[in-house]
A = this chain, B = another copy of it.
Amino acid sequence: MTIPINPLLCMVRRFESQAHLSVDDGGALLALPFTKQALGEGSYIVREGQAPTHCCVLLSGFAYRQKTHSNGGRQILSIHIPGDILDLQNLFLDVSDHNVQTMTRSEVAFIPRPYLVDLFHGRSAIGKAILLSLLVEASISREWLLNVGRRDARGRVAHLLCEFASRINVPGEPVGSSCRLPMTQQQIGDAVGLTPVHVNRTLRSLETEGLLHRSNHSIGFPDWSGLLNAAGFSSLYLHADQQA
């Protein structure tokens, strides 16, 4: 007889990596009621203008925040990987100001918002953990603003790839070998403020320079430090070495 693993464990691990949680705190998080759901590519999790009722944890797959402009342009605001809690952003806001959408097929756990709000108020260590993960998200958002506002196409694309590879990096494996890239060039463009055509040109140019290598939906990094250099990337803003 096998013990089923609680899907929320990935959320607890994420929190523990940033803030110290007691055994009780961890237990309270694992005891949260949730409904698990499988979503197809491009499904909306939250829509702009809606009142959010749930917070959800991304169990597998990738997702992104997104906002569209009346002229038709779409801006991707952040990218999320398994273990991320989507919609902490809306924990106390009455109305969502942006959309959250899956990038690939995903599994998601929906937690009714009141339960998480109760934990925020009742257990200050969890409150701190929630706030901390919001602070890290805000920091990444600031770096994206710098990216779009002050780097040229080459730097923008390189920076996005550096960040993505750094974030999904598993601790044992060296950063910079290769990773799966679930984004289309259209989506990369929407994230860094370029047209898909120019993203294509930029990627090809980076590839002929020997800074990266593409194959089906993966991306390899033959010259990781060269790419870091091209991106002007410094991982400080990810606050990954924040002590717990």
* Most chain B CB neighbours (cut-off 10 Å) among A120, A124, A155: A124
A92 proximal to B (CB < 8 A): yes
- A73 to chain B: closest residue by CB: B150
Residues in B with CB closer than 8 Å to A236 are 49, 95, 97
The tally of residues in A whose CB lies under 8 Å from a CB in B reads 54
Complex CA gap A77/B150 in Å reads 12
A124: chain B residues at CB < 8 Å are 120-122, 124, 127
Interface-facing stretch out of A64-72, A176-184, A206-214: A64-72
Contact B92 A131 (CB under 8 A): yes
Which residues of chain B are near A149, meaning CB under 8 Å?
73, 75, 148, 192-193
What residues of B have a CB within 8 angstroms of the CB of A237 in the complex? 97
Smallest distance from the beta carbon of A205 to chain B beta carbons, Å? 18
A202: interface (CB < 8 Å): no
**Residue in B closest to A237 when the chains form the complex, CB atoms:** B97
A77 touches B232 (CB 8 A): no
CA distance in complex: A135, B92 (Å): 8
In the complex, A44 has a CB within 8 A of chain B: no
How many copies of this chain does the complex contain?
Answer: 2
Once the chains are docked, how many angstroms separate the CA of A192 from the CA of B150?
Answer: 10
Interface: A204 (CB within 8 A): no
With contact pairs A91-B131, A135-B91 given, residues A142 and B141 touching in the complex (Cβ less than 8 Å): yes
Cα distance A138–B95 when bound, in Å? 14
A242 contacts B93, C-beta separation under 8 Å: yes
Q: Check if B121 sits within 8 Å of A128, measured CB to CB.
A: yes
Having A97-B143, A120-B131, A141-B141, one finds 5 other A-B pairs with CB under 8 Å, namely: A70-B232, A73-B151, A77-B142, A120-B127, A131-B134
Q: A residues touching B (Cβ–Cβ < 8 Å)? A: 19, 49, 65, 67, 69-71, 73-75, 77, 89-95, 97-98, 120-122, 124, 127-128, 130-132, 134-139, 141-146, 148-151, 155, 192-193, 232, 236-237, 239, 242-243
5 A-B contact pairs sorted by A residue (CB < 8 Å): A73-B150, A120-B124, A134-B135, A141-B141, A141-B142
